[in-house]
Structure 1
Amino acid sequence: MSLYRAETRRLTKRRFTIFFVLLALVVLGLVAAGVAVTNHKATPAVVAAAQADADRDFQEQTKLAAQEKVRCAERPADYPEGCDALWTPTKDQFQAENYMPSQFDFRNNFPAMLITFAALLALAAFIIGASFVGAEWNSGGMMNLLLWRPQRLRVLSTKLAALLVWLTGLSVVTGAVWTGVFWVIATQRGTTAKMTSGAWQSIGLMGLRGLALVLVAGAVGFGIASIGRHTAAALGAAIGVIVVFQFGLGVVLSLAQARFADLYLLPTWIAAWMFKSFEVTDYNAPCVFSANGCEPPTYTLTWQLAGSVFAALSIIIVGAAMWTIRKRDIT
């Protein structure tokens, strides 16, 4: 059996891998079920009920407005702006669409579901990638494997390749199912209107960026665990990033009133990568005069810059893992 096939089999047969995949699927299923339950299709009966609610609200607001005008006529001193300035409700302000229950619009709402899918799968990829190599270092399996194949770089790179190929297959298959599930939800509990070829292309490109995010997370988890030679090294690094660099750094930057503080936070870069751009506003800086008045300065973070940072991060960490396995003793 080839080394690649052996590593792929080792990865897919691990109970830890199976557990986290099932856990991710359960969470995704709960998200889809929640969306299905909280959305409703705009049937004639639903539209009629919404219109009835709108008419009822219009009548109540008209009655209240009339009572307010009577009070204004009786006590004009309490209304310095005059009775004519009081609000008078009009029929066009009470449309049925404002009283309808939410419906899942595939074109407008599915991108958020796609980001949820990519974020959850990236988290699972990080943990699975870290455990895949970290457990072997901790148990001594890596040393035994290198006795059979005394080619350190080849062994580690083959493990990484098996992980990334498997993550690609998992993401593509589950992503296709995820898209199909929400297409059915939109058909039964919403709308699939305006799904042009351009809309599908945009969703497809977002899906590819989500796949890249999953692969980067898996590679980074794999690399950190290999450098630390323990799964806990990657998990500890992740916890440190979340606690220290996200919450702690966020608080420090807020207290220091740093410019564009959100640029130092990971979710901003992920949002820029997935949405193609993300605008960060600096509310601590003096406003800038524009056609719309004096507005706080903004900075647009592009997906190209975010992707470059993620690529550089993964290359550095994986490269460091390759260098350490080549230079350090296997003990």
Structure 2
Amino acid sequence: MRSLIRVELTRLRWRRAVLLLLVASVVVPAVIAVAMIWDTRPPSADELTRIDELVAQERESPVVQEQLQDCLDHPENWGFDQSTTDLQTQCEESTLPQPEWFGSYTPLDLREQLQYGDGLGVVTVLTLLLMLAGTTFVGHDWVSGSMSNQLLFEPRRGRIWAAKALVVTLVSLVVSVVVSSAYWLTLWLVARSRDLGSSSDLLGDCLEFGLRGALFATAAALAGFALTMLFRSTVATIGVLFALSVGGGLLIALLGLDGQWQPGPNLEAIVKNGTTYWDYDTERKLSALHGVVYYGVLVVGTAVASVISFGRRDVP
């Protein structure tokens, strides 16, 4: 079995398309991280000076001063009470230009990133790219006809299937864990350098988020491999996955099933260790266990069908 695994690792290393997909699995999350760091950067001293100058100029304009005086004379038109003690302050805040009007700064909040940020996008990217890598890796064996040659050296089909699956799983796991951990560790270090609250507990939450996403992406790569071994065609596998991604959610909605059967909420439940979804006007909880069972049944079912098909069907 070890020799088979070494052979499959060599095959994977020589698949240029697979290597390009693995490189993309590193580059795309890195670009997302860089964009996030850049978008949340604090303004420089020159930018702050420029903003202060713009604010001062705008506040001296006749139009702004007229609006301020109108607010003081007729506060009811601005939604204020004439008898309020801080009318001057309220009118100034409503009519006078504020620094944030000329330059928005959104600090890097890792807690918010865990809930609403690009972390789920990184998981999605890894899932798609690694699934394509698993599909492309074994699809080449069927297209080139080398599968029949491999069976001449190792007639036990179960060992060949297992060796290929193990290589796809291990490589996908290593890539996804390293990339996910590097993504969150980088954001944590940036937040720490900016004094934005970066405790070790928060880092642990981020790394756990990344690990759950990496495991999901690894399972997706294995599923892509299993589907290709079942259909014996990369194109057919991609077509089926595209049809499921486009029509699967629509079909579930047409059947009247609620959000717990939709792919998206179940992915969020796994990665975020639980999530919520809306059932008409009611917000319901969805556990990580439900998501694992939801996708686990699909992956295991696909793998079993793939093994049975590969063991019984003729290999051209």
TM over 0.5: yes
- What is the CA distance between 1:45 and its match in structure 2? 6.6
Q: What's 2:113 paired with?
A: 109
- What is the CA distance between 1:47 and its match in structure 2? 6.5
2:191 equivalent to 1:194: no
For the residue of structure 1 that corresponds to 2:202, the secondary structure is helix
- What is the CA distance between 1:202 and its match in structure 2? 1.3
Which amino acid counterpart does residue 129 of structure 2 have in structure 1? A
For the residue of structure 1 that corresponds to 2:220, the secondary structure is helix
For the residue of structure 2 that corresponds to 1:101, the secondary structure is coil
2:277 equivalent to 1:280: yes
CA contact (8 A) 2:75 2:81 kept: yes
Q: What's 2:209 paired with?
A: 206
For the residue of structure 2 that corresponds to 1:279, the secondary structure is strand
2:278 equivalent to 1:238: no
Indicate which of 155, 161, 169 corresponds to 1:150: 155
- Partners of 2:15 and 2:168 in 1: CA distance: 12
Over 3 Å counting, the alpha-carbon distance change for 1:180 and 1:200 in structure 2 is closer
Identity of aligned residues (%): 20
Q: What's 1:322 paired with?
A: 307
- Partners of 1:40 and 1:82 in 2: CA distance: 36
CA contact (8 A) 2:276 2:285 kept: yes
CA contact (8 A) 2:40 2:108 kept: yes
CA contact (8 A) 2:114 2:209 kept: no
Q: What's 2:289 paired with?
A: 304
RMSD: 3.5
1:49-88 deviations in Å (ceiling 9; x for gaps): 7778788889987852541564689xxxxx7x99749995
- Partners of 1:103 and 1:56 in 2: CA distance: 27
Structure 2: gaps spanning 5 or more residues: none
CA contact (8 A) 1:107 1:195 kept: no
- What is the CA distance between 1:178 and its match in structure 2? 2.5
CA contact (8 A) 1:121 1:214 kept: yes
Q: What's 1:292 paired with?
A: none
- Partners of 2:133 and 2:109 in 1: CA distance: 34
Q: What is the TM-score normalised by the length of structure 1?
A: 0.78
- Partners of 1:130 and 1:55 in 2: CA distance: 60
Which amino acid counterpart does residue 104 of structure 1 have in structure 2? L
CA contact (8 A) 2:127 2:220 kept: yes
Over 3 Å counting, the alpha-carbon distance change for 1:57 and 1:116 in structure 2 is farther
Which amino acid counterpart does residue 265 of structure 2 have in structure 1? T
- Partners of 2:188 and 2:80 in 1: CA distance: 54
What is the correspondence of 1:6-25 to structure 2 with a 5 Å cutoff?
Answer: 6-25=7-26
CA contact (8 A) 1:42 1:103 kept: no
1:229-278 deviations in Å (ceiling 9; x for gaps): 111222011110122113x437x54xx8x463x33431111111111222
Which amino acid counterpart does residue 64 of structure 1 have in structure 2? Q
- Partners of 2:59 and 2:260 in 1: CA distance: 45
- What is the CA distance between 1:145 and its match in structure 2? 0.3
- Partners of 1:107 and 1:85 in 2: CA distance: 41
Which amino acid counterpart does residue 154 of structure 1 have in structure 2? R
For the residue of structure 2 that corresponds to 1:271, the secondary structure is helix
- What is the CA distance between 1:180 and its match in structure 2? 4.3
Structure 1: gaps spanning 5 or more residues: 74-78, 284-295
Q: What's 1:28 paired with?
A: 29
Which amino acid counterpart does residue 308 of structure 1 have in structure 2? V
Over 3 Å counting, the alpha-carbon distance change for 1:249 and 1:175 in structure 2 is same
How many residue pairs get aligned? The number is: 305
- What is the CA distance between 1:8 and its match in structure 2? 1.0
Which amino acid counterpart does residue 7 of structure 1 have in structure 2? E
For the residue of structure 1 that corresponds to 2:106, the secondary structure is coil
- What is the CA distance between 1:329 and its match in structure 2? 1.8
Over 3 Å counting, the alpha-carbon distance change for 1:124 and 1:192 in structure 2 is farther
For the residue of structure 1 that corresponds to 2:276, the secondary structure is strand
